[in-house]
Amino acid sequence: MSEKTLKFFQQAPSSAQVADEPSTCTEAEPFALRVLDDSMEPEFRRGCIIIIDPTGRATDGSYVLVEGAKDVLFRQLKKTHDSWQLQPLNTLYAATDDVAADLSNVMGVIVQRAGARRSYHKHYD
């Protein structure tokens, strides 16, 4: 399956802004997106809302929003030897290796998911 572009509720900060300290409070504010495909199922179902913290620290296993060459990807960050890999949770999608070694293209870290029912809400560290 091909990668799909995410549509934003709000304009996200650029990766250059995330790599450096935010210059304004607005750039450091968390923002919300709706998941539009099934690449991160079963953890993040299509239609759920994710909250992204642009100042969050991306580590091995974090769910991140990454600015790619053509679009923005929502994936799990995995450390493999000396490089980083973006891993979808759905096995129908392929992993990508287009993450900079210094993680400068990470736009933010997913800190929460929400859905129609309170039982679906979850926080991530």
Q: What is the pLDDT of residue 20?
A: 54
pTM of the model: 0.73
The vertex-103 CA angle with 102 and 108, nearest 5°, equals 150
Q: What is the pLDDT of residue 98?
A: 62
Q: What is the pLDDT of residue 40?
A: 94
Instruction: Output the six-digit token pair for 40.
Output: 């991160």
Residue 10 inside a domain? The answer is no
Number of domains comprising the chain: 1
Per-residue pLDDT band for 3 (boundaries 50, 70, 90) equals very low
Instruction: Establish how many alpha carbons lie within 13 A of residue 98's alpha carbon, considering only the half-sphere containing its beta carbon.
Output: 14
The boundaries of the domain holding residue 45 are 15-123
Q: State the CATH number of the domain containing residue 108.
A: 2.10.109.10
Per-residue pLDDT band for 92 (boundaries 50, 70, 90) equals very high
